[in-house]
Amino acid sequence: MSRSVLVTGGNRGIGLAIARAFADAGDKVAITYRSGEPPAGFLAVKCDITDPEQVEQAYKEIEAKHGPVEVLIANAGITKDQLLMRMSEEDFTSVIDTNLTGTYRVVKRANRGMLRAKKGRVVLISSVVGLYGGPGQANYAASKAGLVGFARSLARELGSRNITFNVVAPGFVDTDMTKALTDEQRATIVSQVPLGRYAQPEEVAATVRFLASDDASYITGAVIPVDGGLGMGH
């Protein structure tokens, strides 16, 4: 069964690993990118999720080429870390606009087709930081915690329509996002992770693919950690 899958921010990092996992399983995979050359092997649509017009255009292109999106992975996200006293209004609102409101935009648009099809799978990429907190990450943590309330509300709203909404909360993953950390910061983080290492993007992708599979047909409103044990108990 080849499904129409959309991975936002599927051009690099965790999103690219997720896109590859679905493509390897035979699905038709669309990815969004904002600039540069997107990776080959996918339907790459240019889309900044902070712009509702670009979201609409991206969906039109995907629907014309792959049909309505049946599986949506809302992965695109940014950080703008700063201690609260130095965090500008723009640092805060731009992270919320991308990570939380951007997810609202892509989920809402995907839902149109899913409601018609009376089925759908939505996976939101949150973070261990959403529930654990992180100094200097009040904006990011608020956006990622917001995804949990968002997903759980929709799980209740649309469960009867056979659409599942789940959240994956990765810990620290080896991507461009975490390359910005200093060696000292990395060592501190690793010392707190029971498994004693960063995740590879493919380890997050495997969980995402499971949640979108038939094997996960009775899972909705869940928050699944892929964090090496970092957030245990939250």
Which residues form the interface with ligand NDP (CB under 6 A)? 8-9, 11-15, 32-35, 47-50, 75-78, 98, 102, 125, 127, 170, 172-173, 175-178
135 versus 214: smaller Cβ distance to ligand NDP = 135
Separate counts of helices (H) and strands (E) for the chain: 9, 7
* 8 Å CB contact between 105 and 55: yes
Query: 140 catalytic, yes or no?
Result: yes
Min separation Cβ 33 and ligand NDP, Å: 5
* Smallest separation, CB 118 to ligand NDP (Å): 29
User: One of 33, 140, 198, 218 is an active-site residue; which one?
Assistant: 140
Task: Give whichever of 79 and 111 is closer to ligand NDP, judged by the CB atom.
Answer: 79
Of 146 and 170, CB closest to ligand NDP: 170
Q: How far is the CB of 216 from ligand NDP (least distance, A)?
A: 19
Residues 6+ apart with CB under 8 A from 231: 128, 131, 132, 169, 171, 225
Coil vs helix vs strand at 225: strand
Q: Is 12 annotated as a binding residue?
A: yes
Catalytic site positions: 140
Bind-site residues for NADP(+): 9-12, 75, 140-144
